[in-house]
């Protein structure tokens, strides 16, 4: 009887863990209780490339590459200027919408911030 109970408990834990892993995908979501999320610039790419956050949240971009990079809004809403290795740029997204950005030095590097309704 104990073996069956242990098996059920193990199976329940496995199902729970799988559900947790499935809930996190390639784009990063920010819980309403948090106020910021990080994007790393590494290997000539923004990681994660797509971020979903509630309005009023901040995103901090940090350059982990040897090369300089920028974080520049396609619609000219923000521009980090040149970021050397280890430098960071922080921007608060106050209005819901889709914000596309790129690196001026490497225009093929692109990312998207999706801002949803206000935080609670």
C-alpha 6: how far from its chain's center?
Answer: 38
Q: Is the pLDDT of residue 13 over 70?
A: no
Q: ∠ CA 27-64-70 to the nearest 5 degrees?
A: 80
Q: Is the pLDDT of residue 28 over 60?
A: no
Instruction: Count how many Cα atoms sit within 13 Å of the Cα of residue 77 in the half-sphere of its side chain.
Output: 16
pLDDT tens digits along 53-102: 999 999 999 999 999 999 999 999 999 999 999 999 999 999 999 999 99
Domain boundaries, the chain: 27-118
Q: What is the mean pLDDT of the chain?
A: 80
Whether this prediction's pTM lies above 0.75 is answered by no
* Dihedral angle of Cα 44, 50, 52, 53, to the nearest 10 degrees: 20
27-118 architecture in CATH?
Sandwich (2.60)
């Amino acid at each position: 009887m104990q073996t069956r109970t242990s098996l059920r408990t193990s199976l329940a834990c496995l199902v729970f863990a799988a559900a947790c892993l499935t809930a996190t995908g390639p784009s990063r979501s920010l819980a309403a209780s948090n106020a910021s999320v990080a994007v790393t610039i590494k290997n000539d790419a923004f990681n994660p490339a797509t971020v979903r956050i509630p309005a009023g949240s901040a995103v901090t971009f940090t350059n982990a590459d040897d090369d300089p990079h920028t974080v520049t809004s396609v619609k000219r809403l923000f521009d980090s200027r040149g970021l050397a290795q280890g430098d960071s740029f922080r921007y608060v997204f106050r209005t819901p919408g889709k914000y596309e950005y790129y690196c001026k030095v490497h225009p093929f590097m692109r990312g998207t911030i999706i801002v949803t309704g206000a935080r609670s």
